């Protein structure tokens, strides 16, 4: 068990993992201190023409999509009865909760007045705003995820009554979570419907909410596969399921990934066709669009399908990685690459190294917390005194 604890065999706290993450987190803290004492200009490349950059593009837009595994798996297991995926429910929910916490932290860094975050609910609401809907749903969903991760905490603390209470809430929370996720995943895309002249027509579509939702499902499935790759090794001593079972789960996810990506491709083609945008594919922006679609949607779709059919786990993992990159790339395109595409070159945006460092810090924080929780709580295994729910 020694490699999984904070201290190594000699009881030293300076493990390589701790050193690296410590430096990253310390750097992030320093940058954020500067940001909060001198304003956004000092630590970002944001401008009046580009008010949203990496912290919105990755922390918020991509972050929410990558945290989608929670609602996908919990719905599959608890609503659609796919009990064979039970072993990955808790890791997926924990990943989801930490992902959404990362979104809120990123938002707090980016807002001009982050202490006013609750204002839409306590001071004055702007119900016409898609962002109002997103913030309401994210706040509620973060609460849902928090409660959904407490069973593991209560089992760890031996609080049987609390554990039973939250266990009874599972179905209601899962349904509520699916409602909230459908809404805010779609609405994050809908935020761009108001910018038809600023977002390149290949990415702009009245269907962008549907496209965002479907790609989020694909991202969620892929993140479960990727998270499983690392967790299965790092927490091998805890894992109770057989290798065959683990592989079975991954192949099932790969099959799901293939179908979802195929659906996504069809939806994207429909959007092109309805606006008659075929000729745009021949432009340089069209080439870039094809890089995103071919390389990071079509290819992983094929790889997922082959991986499932031929039972090749490594291939499924490659497909998952490509899918995640593809969703991140899509969110970057919509947020600041294909957005403002007509703006002169000298006024375009590229993230500052400080923005990148802060984003990496937040990801690191999520990984550190996940590891801390999985080392202590029944995430990767079932507690002997508490049989599986439903």
Residues that bind other proteins (CB under 8 A): 35-42, 44, 46-49, 51-52, 75, 78-81, 111-114, 116-117, 119-120, 123-133, 135-136, 171-172, 175-176, 178-179, 182-183, 186-187, 190-191, 193-198, 201, 206-207, 209, 274-277, 344
Residue number, 12 or 206, with CB nearest to other proteins: 206
Whole-number Å distance between alpha carbons of 134 and 189: 10
Tallying the residues shown for the chain, one arrives at: 390
Residues contacting residue 67 through CB under 8 Å, at least 6 positions apart: 95, 96, 97, 98, 99, 100, 102, 103, 220, 223
Least distance to other proteins, CB of residue 59, Å: 13
Is residue 79 within 8 Å of 175, Cβ to Cβ? yes
Burial of 39 (0-12, 13-18, 19+ CB in 10 A): exposed
Is residue 180 within 8 Å of 216, Cβ to Cβ? no
Question: Could you identify the residue written with the tokens 């009865």?
Answer: 81
Least distance to other proteins, CB of residue 336, Å: 10
176: enclosing H helix or E strand? helix 170-190
Least distance to other proteins, CB of residue 177, Å: 10
Least distance to other proteins, CB of residue 275, Å: 7
104: enclosing H helix or E strand? helix 89-110
Residue number, 193 or 367, with CB nearest to other proteins: 193
Least distance to other proteins, CB of residue 179, Å: 5
Q: Which residues pair with 339 in a beta bridge?
A: 199
R_g of the chain computed on alpha carbons: 21
Least distance to other proteins, CB of residue 299, Å: 29
């Amino acid at each position: 068990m020694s490699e999984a604890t904070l201290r190594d065999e000699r009881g030293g706290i300076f493990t390589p993992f701790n050193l690296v993450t410590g430096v990253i987190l310390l750097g992030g803290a320093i940058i954020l201190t500067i940001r909060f004492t001198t304003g956004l200009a000092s630590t970002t490349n944001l401008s009046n023409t580009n008010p949203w950059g990496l912290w919105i593009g990755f922390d918020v837009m991509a972050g929410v999509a990558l945290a989608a595994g929670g609602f996908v798996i919990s719905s599959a297991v608890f609503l659609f009865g796919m009990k064979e995926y039970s072993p990955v429910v808790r890791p997926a929910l924990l990943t989801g909760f930490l992902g959404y916490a990362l979104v809120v932290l990123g938002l707090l860094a980016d807002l001009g007045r982050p202490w006013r975050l609750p204002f839409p609910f306590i001071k004055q609401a702007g119900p016409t705003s898609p962002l109002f809907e997103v913030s309401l749903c994210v706040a509620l969903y973060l609460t849902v995820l928090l409660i959904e991760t407490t069973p593991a905490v209560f089992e760890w603390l031996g609080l049987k009554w609390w554990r039973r209470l939250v266990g009874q809430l599972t179905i209601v929370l899962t349904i509520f979570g699916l409602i909230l996720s459908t809404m805010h995943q779609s609405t994050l895309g809908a935020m761009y419907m108001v910018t038809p002249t600023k977002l390149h027509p290949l990415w702009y579509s009245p269907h962008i909410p549907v496209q965002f939702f479907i790609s989020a499902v694909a991202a969620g499935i892929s993140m479960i596969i990727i998270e499983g790759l690392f967790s299965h090794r790092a927490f091998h001593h805890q894992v109770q399921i057989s290798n065959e079972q683990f592989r079975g789960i991954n192949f099932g996810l790969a099959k799901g990934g293939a179908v979802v990506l195929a659906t996504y491709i069809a939806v994207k083609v429909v959007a092109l066709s309805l606006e008659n945008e075929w000729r745009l594919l021949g432009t340089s922006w069209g080439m870039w669009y094809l890089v995103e679609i071919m390389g990071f949607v079509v290819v992983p779709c094929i790889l997922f399908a082959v991986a499932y059919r031929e039972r090749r786990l490594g291939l499924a993992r490659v497909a998952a990685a490509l899918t995640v990159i593809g969703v991140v790339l899509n969110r970057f395109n919509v947020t600041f690459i294909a957005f403002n595409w007509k703006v002169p070159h000298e006024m375009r945006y590229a993230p500052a190294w400080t923005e990148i460092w802060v984003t990496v810090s937040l990801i690191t924080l999520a990984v550190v917390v996940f590891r801390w929780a999985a080392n202590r709580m029944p995430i990767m295994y079932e507690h002997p005194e508490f049989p599986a729910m439903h």
